């Protein structure tokens, strides 16, 4: 029997009136892995996460979190799951940071040490600061600490680095990596595509409540156009001759005068072919650069480039 997944969703549907916020979505997160759930605003990410957390009820389909039903088995499941919400720390704005973390720790059977956890998220110096006086990024870090204090097996992180400065963002990435090393499973929603590419073992892209792509970051960025080589040289090169020398499936265009783009599966053979052909023609290929698509490129191709409201 295969091991029970950290999260398994099959044909999930959630509608509000005539609008299907989630429309037949399926995904699976293995234990000890990081899954990034990506999509434009209104794609159904938050609704999906809130159903997994037991805050909303599904209309149809199946959702299992650590093998349990999020609603029916809520009492058994909640002590094992950490949740970092979009609205941060909620209404506890008058409490000091350390007081709030100690309060949450008191609810747990075997909590982490609140002072050590504040140190880990970079809030030791602000431990006695009232929550309402913390910056937006500091409140995000406190919200992350609140999600972790009960030693969860699974953590839902909704936009965990929103509002953070670059140093705090990198420190949060390191903390997420340590959680994974400790065997914690993580569902991450983010609008920072580099964050997903850096942290996730698997990526699920949703749009209009449906999965439009899924795979590892490497698999998704390899899909379609495999990559490209750019170089500068004198204008008017005999592209028909270069094209004939390239491996099957590769092509070359002169985008602007003297600016060339070779498209195809970028590997040592393709790079060697381009440089050898240029050398044979007495052409100096300047500013030669190997590029590949980023996760952001894939995301925009799948979901469109127009603004969403």
Arithmetic mean of pLDDT, 262-285: 92
Q: Is the pLDDT of residue 152 over 80?
A: yes
Arithmetic mean of pLDDT, 111-131: 95
Distance of CA 9 to the CA centre of its chain: 18
- Where is pLDDT greater, at 293 or 142? 142
Quick check: helix, strand or coil at residue 30?
Answer: coil
pTM to 2 decimal places: 0.81
- In this prediction, residue 148 carries a pLDDT of 96
How would residue 65 be classed by pLDDT, with cut points 50, 70 and 90?
A: very high
List CB contacts of 266: < 8 A, sequence separation 6 or more: 226, 227, 228, 229, 290, 291, 292
- Where is pLDDT greater, at 92 or 276? 276
- In this prediction, residue 309 carries a pLDDT of 54
User: Which pair of structure tokens corresponds to residue 282?
Assistant: 């007495």
CATH architecture, range 228-290: 2-Layer Sandwich (3.30)
Arithmetic mean of pLDDT, 263-280: 92
How would residue 71 be classed by pLDDT, with cut points 50, 70 and 90?
A: very high
List CB contacts of 305: < 8 A, sequence separation 6 or more: none
Q: Is the pLDDT of residue 131 over 70?
A: yes
Q: Is the pLDDT of residue 196 over 50?
A: yes
Q: Is the pLDDT of residue 225 over 50?
A: no
How would residue 267 be classed by pLDDT, with cut points 50, 70 and 90?
A: confident
Arithmetic mean of pLDDT, 244-263: 92
> Is residue 182 classed exposed, middle or buried when 0-12, 13-18 and 19+ CB atoms within 10 A define those classes?
exposed
Arithmetic mean of pLDDT, 93-109: 93
Rounded Cα–Cα distance for residues 163 and 160 (Å): 9
What is the enclosing helix (H) or strand (E) of 252?
strand 251-256
How would residue 223 be classed by pLDDT, with cut points 50, 70 and 90?
A: low
CATH architecture, range 7-222: 3-Layer(aba) Sandwich (3.40)
Residue found by looking up tokens 């794609």 in the block: 43
- In this prediction, residue 287 carries a pLDDT of 94
- Where is pLDDT greater, at 138 or 293? 138
Arithmetic mean of pLDDT, 198-221: 94
In the predicted model, what is the mean pLDDT of the chain?
A: 92
Q: Is the pLDDT of residue 143 over 90?
A: yes
Arithmetic mean of pLDDT, 31-46: 95
- Where is pLDDT greater, at 88 or 217? 217
Rounded Cα–Cα distance for residues 44 and 208 (Å): 7
Segments making up each domain of the chain, as ranges: 7-222, 228-290
Is the separation of the CB atoms in 127 and 117 below 8 Å? no
């Amino acid at each position: 029997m295969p091991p029970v997944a950290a999260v398994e969703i099959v044909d999930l549907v959630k509608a509000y009136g005539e609008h299907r916020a989630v429309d037949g979505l399926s995904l699976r997160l293995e234990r000890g892995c990081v899954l990034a759930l990506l999509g434009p605003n209104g794609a159904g990410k938050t609704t999906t996460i809130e159903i997994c957390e037991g805050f909303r009820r599904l209309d149809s389909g199946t959702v299992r979190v650590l093998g349990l039903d999020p609603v029916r088995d809520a009492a058994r499941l909640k002590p094992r799951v950490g949740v970092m919400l979009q609205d941060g720390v909620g209404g506890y704005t008058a409490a000091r940071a350390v007081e709030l973390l100690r309060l949450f720790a008191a609810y747990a059977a075997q909590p982490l040490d609140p002072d050590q956890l504040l140190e880990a998220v970079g809030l030791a110096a602000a431990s006695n600061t009232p929550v309402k006086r913390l910056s937006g990024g500091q409140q995000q870090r406190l919200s992350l600490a609140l999600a972790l204090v009960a030693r969860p097996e699974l953590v839902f992180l909704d936009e965990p680095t929103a509002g953070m400065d670059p140093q705090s963002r990198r420190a949060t990435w390191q903390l997420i990596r340590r959680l994974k090393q400790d065997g914690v499973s993580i569902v991450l929603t983010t609008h920072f595509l580099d964050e997903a590419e850096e942290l996730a073992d698997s990526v699920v892209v949703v749009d209009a409540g449906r999965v439009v792509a899924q795979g590892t970051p490497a698999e998704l960025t390899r899909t379609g156009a495999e990559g490209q080589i750019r170089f500068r040289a004198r204008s008017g090169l005999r592209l028909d001759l270069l094209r004939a020398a390239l491996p099957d499936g590769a092509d070359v265009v002169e985008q602007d005068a003297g600016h060339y783009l070779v498209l195809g599966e970028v590997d040592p053979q393709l790079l060697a072919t381009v440089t050898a052909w240029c050398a044979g023609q007495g052409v100096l290929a300047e500013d030669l650069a190997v590029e590949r698509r980023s996760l952001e490129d894939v995301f925009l191709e799948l979901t469109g480039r127009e603004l969403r409201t």
